[in-house]
Amino acid sequence: MNPPTLLAAVSGIDTGDTAWMLIATALVLMMTPALGLFYAGLVRSKNTLNTFMMCVGAIAVAMVTWALVGYSLAFDGNGSLIGGLGYAGLHGVDFTPREGTTIPQLVFMAFQATFCIITVALVSGAVVERMRFGAFLVFAALWSVCVYAVLAHWAFGGGWLQANGTLDFAGGVPVEMGSGFSALAAALVVGARKDYGRQALLPHNAVYVLLGAGLLWFGWFGFNGGSGFSTGNPSVLAFTNTLLTPACTLVVWFALDLFRGRKVTAIGAATAIVVGCVAITPAGGFISPGWAMLLGALAALPSYAIIVWRTRTRVDETLDVLAAHGTAGFFGILFIGFFAQLSWNGVSDGLFYGNAAQLGDQALAALAGPTYAFLATFVLLKLIGAVTPLRASEHDEALGMDVVQHGEEAYVTGEGAILVFPEDGGTAGVPVADPG
């Protein structure tokens, strides 16, 4: 391809749409560090950096795998199960718009990349405080291709679910159910933290959790508002629903907290924001603002119940990705089947408006997405575990993953720290006193 052709003005591009999608892409990328903050606050202080670094690691690894093969497998062609390799290495991804959009395919690819990144980061919530960082990076690379790209193809890229008529506005199948049910599998394969069920393992900084949730919500306006790939009505509807739904989830969550413990909790509120944002993700551009508010209120119930139930089991799905993302995503996908409204979305009605078939299409996605995500993740982690240990030793786990995996601490004081100059760099690890 020679430069003059590439740089010539491309027809079919809308500058307003492109401007919004550039911003939306940046907003969604910000969600991954925001998730890092949210997750870091939920773990013990000795694992702060490791937890945050899993999200940073997801940006590094998933962006590269997405550019190499992930984007192509998700968005090249209309294969039923998987896309082609025509866009591998971003070959042919340039300023011309993708069919059905009015933005350069480069922006489309970048926007979708940020979805892949945050989904990989979400799964880390199941294995924090014990999984080896190296093993996680390997898992992140393979998972982004074998699980995320496949589910994205099914739901967005012309795969069988989309062809069948399943409505998924911004990723209820690949992002929310994909991460939630993969997290369950990951927690089962990696196993519980050694102190789980024996000691109270408490969040070390609730302010991080609230700030992280707030930044996630902010970024979610790009996530849902950008998933119409334009500044048109679906995007506007999804954008506003992203404001309405989580607010209703918050109100109901407050009520549930009051009912159970007589106090409204801050970490509960942060969780409710995420649950509300997740619930409206698949439904954003398909349901009216009124139904979106009902969705937010109802979505609180199953997620709340699963969080209460899960902590009483031996399953250490540490940061409740299944409850917040898997469950609320499942709920949102099904909700579309009931309350989608042609007069608002221009695409399809749901059962409530006389189209029962839509509910069937939604139920199919709600079965297929979780099943594939769970099984593929289970097998993938078993395979990686056969080659390299998935978790740190008990001794390292007790010491904390920050010092062991990264050689840093989040809250270092500097007391008793001795500078090591490069010229005597060989003295590392020398005992200063004979313990014998």
Partner 1 sequence: MKLVIGIVRPEKANDVLEALYRAQVRGVSMSRVQGHGGELERVETYRGTTVQMGLAEKVRFEIAVSDEFVQPTVDALCEGARTGQVGDGKIFVLPLDSAVRIRTGETDHGAVTPVDK
Binding site residues, partner 1, CB under 8 A? 195, 199, 395, 398-400, 403, 407-409, 412-420, 422, 425, 427-435
Main-chain phi, psi angles of 391, to 5 degrees: -120, 160
Residue among 203 and 226 whose Cβ is closer to partner 1: 203
- The minimum distance between CB 312 and partner 1, in angstroms, equals 20
Residue among 262 and 395 whose Cβ is closer to partner 1: 395
Calculate the CA 107 to chain-centre distance.
20
Residue among 387 and 433 whose Cβ is closer to partner 1: 433
Secondary structure (DSSP) of 108-137 = HHHHHHHHHHHHHHHHGGGTTTTB-HHHHH
Residue among 203 and 246 whose Cβ is closer to partner 1: 203
- The minimum distance between CB 424 and partner 1, in angstroms, equals 10
- The minimum distance between CB 192 and partner 1, in angstroms, equals 16
Q: How many CB atoms lie within 10 A of CB 278?
A: 33
User: Which token pair is 132?
Assistant: 């080896």
Q: Which residue's entry shows tokens 């294995």? A: 127
Residue among 3 and 431 whose Cβ is closer to partner 1: 431
In this structure, are residues 248 and 296 in contact, taking their beta carbons and an 8 Å threshold? yes
- The minimum distance between CB 60 and partner 1, in angstroms, equals 17
Residue among 12 and 197 whose Cβ is closer to partner 1: 197
In this structure, are residues 177 and 326 in contact, taking their beta carbons and an 8 Å threshold? yes
Residue among 44 and 132 whose Cβ is closer to partner 1: 44
- The minimum distance between CB 396 and partner 1, in angstroms, equals 11
Distance between CA 249 and CA 331 in Å, rounded? Answer: 13
Kindly give, in sequence order, each residue whose CB lies less than 8 Å from that of residue 187, ignoring residues fewer than 6 positions away.
126, 127, 315, 316, 317, 318
- The minimum distance between CB 50 and partner 1, in angstroms, equals 14
State the burial class of residue 301 (Cβ atoms within 10 Å of its Cβ: 0-12, 13-18, 19+).
middle
Under DSSP, the state recorded for 103 is S
Main-chain phi, psi angles of 97, to 5 degrees: -75, 150
- The minimum distance between CB 287 and partner 1, in angstroms, equals 48
